[in-house]
Amino acid sequence: MRAQERVADRYELTYPVGHGGMGEVWAGFDEKLDRPVAIKFLRKVSIPESERENAVERFMREARVTARLDHPGVPSVHDVGVQGDDIYIVMQLVPGMVLSDLIAERGWLSVPWAAAIGAQICSVLAAAHAASLVHRDLKPQNLMVTPAGSVKVLDFGVAALLGPADVPRLTATGHTLGTPTYMAPEQALNSTVGPRADLYALGCVLFELLTGSPPYRADNPLGMLHRHMNDPVPSVTDHRAGVPDALVQLVVRMLAKDPQHRPRSASEVYEILMPFGAVEPELAADLAMTVAEGQPVDPTMPYRYPFGPLPPRAPLAPTKIDVVRPRNAPEVIDVPSFDELAEVEERAWELAEEERFTQAAELLETALRPVRKGHGAKQPRILELRLNLANLYVLAGAYRQALPEFTRLVADLSERPMPDQELIWHCRQQAAVCQAELGQGSMALAELRALHSEGRRLMPPDSPHLLDLRQQIAMLTAGVGELADAQRQLGELLSDIRELHGRNSPAAVDVENLLVHLGRLVGTGG
């Protein structure tokens, strides 16, 4: 890339902002809307060719989810596309100071600063997790404090390229996707990464803010991942005195090896950090000494000028205060005909073919809303549309919406006079996948094990569905800490795949790489 080069016949590059192993960031100018922007380029050539198409699709899909995050702590996403050998994402150009530079300048930060930064990050994570979006690569280099004191969480869209499926291949070749210094044990083990992986990474960031150094050090990425999985959790008090005990214990909980032992949510961490981030106005000036682009930065400022509430812990109760009707008047519901539903379904699949999955799901959900309650929801045609809706939610990455849909479908399909067991099995598997994506690893593992036991009675041993399920179970087993059992399962699976498809088949190579990766993580020492 070079200055004055144009992208998509719209964006002019002005000057480079930064670069890394996978791409570079440029300041630019949107000629159509007459505004400055930031443009991040990711090199497709940095991704192995066999994975490139899936990685690009995943990046595009998750970038769309990111663009819907309406939160002041997330830079606005304006555009995304492909140019030559690069994927690019156009976003709001944010002024301020990168957190890694702030740490390098100051060493450890004051307790109010660290807590204020952490609370603002939690506010972003709470909104993201409510939208079924996990960052996966939270680190000081992806966090920025603006001159207004607000903290911006960067690179949610880039996180699409940092999925757990990429970790074994890339750590094995020395090009880790995700950052080992801040990577949760389950992410290192290639397990499904849920919201609590972000809390682990935030625990690492808080530890570094309070002590000036990350919780673990190692000479190489593999050694770092081994320490995250096996070394005792360090305490802030070993490096610094005077930090309140409640804050010390919070960091210890966030760094727990087992995701189930970490705080339940970003909202819970936010509420613990909030009181520590409050600063009296007369003391704030003594803290705000770091300068970004000629202006002081002070992350405690939003406590005096609040930046917005968290999403509610539970869905708000429906209200009818804006609906005026006589007390005894019957509620009129406009139920669509099957022909109208067929038209909606056709349009939804047209949108899905364009990868506009969220819009397709919203269209189908709106059409189904009048018939979702009562006996009508169990009609064969409605059940089919409900299944399509659940699958669209999965394609959109909206796992919180997909999970209850699949759960209700399992119950309703089971009540039919002649239940379709294979379809029920599929819905249960998809529900377990959603649980795993939402960080409910133990629950997902129990369900997948039950499904495998039942699937052996419904399908032949060489069924691709069963083989994929066994690999999924093995990796979730590793993710909950049962490493020896996971290695045994992968070894048996590798033997069966070699017998069925050959020693050098793609499936066999994939499982063999997983086994090598898992063995290195378990057996590496420094």
By annotation, the residues acting in catalysis are 137
Q: Compute the distance between CA of residue 117 and CA of residue 300 in angstroms, rounded to an integer.
A: 8
- Residues 471-504: b if buried by 16+ CB within 10 A, e if exposed: bbbbbbbbbbbebeebbebbeebbebbbeeeeee
Q: Are 90 and 76 contacting, i.e. CB atoms less than 8 angstroms apart?
A: no
Q: Compute the distance between CA of residue 512 and CA of residue 111 in angstroms, rounded to an integer.
A: 47
Q: Compute the distance between CA of residue 378 and CA of residue 372 in angstroms, rounded to an integer.
A: 9
Residue 69 DSSP one-character state = -
Q: Compute the distance between CA of residue 205 and CA of residue 493 in angstroms, rounded to an integer.
A: 38
- Amino acid 489 reads Q
Question: Which stretch of DSSP H or E encloses residue 401?
Answer: helix 399-414
Helices (H), 193-307: 195-211, 221-230, 245-254, 266-277, 281-287, 301-304
Neighbours of 355 (CB within 10 A): 15
Give the N- to C-terminal CA distance of the chain in Å, as an integer: 39
Closest CA to 187 of 420, 428, 403, 176: 176
Closest CA to 42 of 17, 66, 55, 24: 24
Q: What is residue 513's three-state secondary structure? A: helix
* CB-count exposure of residue 30 (10 Å: 0-12, 13-18, 19+): middle
Sorted by sequence, the CB contacts under 8 Å of residue 470 that are 6+ apart come out as 452, 489, 493
Q: Are 177 and 120 contacting, i.e. CB atoms less than 8 angstroms apart?
A: no
Q: Compute the distance between CA of residue 160 and CA of residue 175 in angstroms, rounded to an integer.
A: 16
Q: Provide the total of helices (H) and of strands (E) in the chain, helices listed first.
A: 20, 11
Sorted by sequence, the CB contacts under 8 Å of residue 492 that are 6+ apart come out as none
Sorted by sequence, the CB contacts under 8 Å of residue 343 that are 6+ apart come out as none
- Amino acid 98 reads V
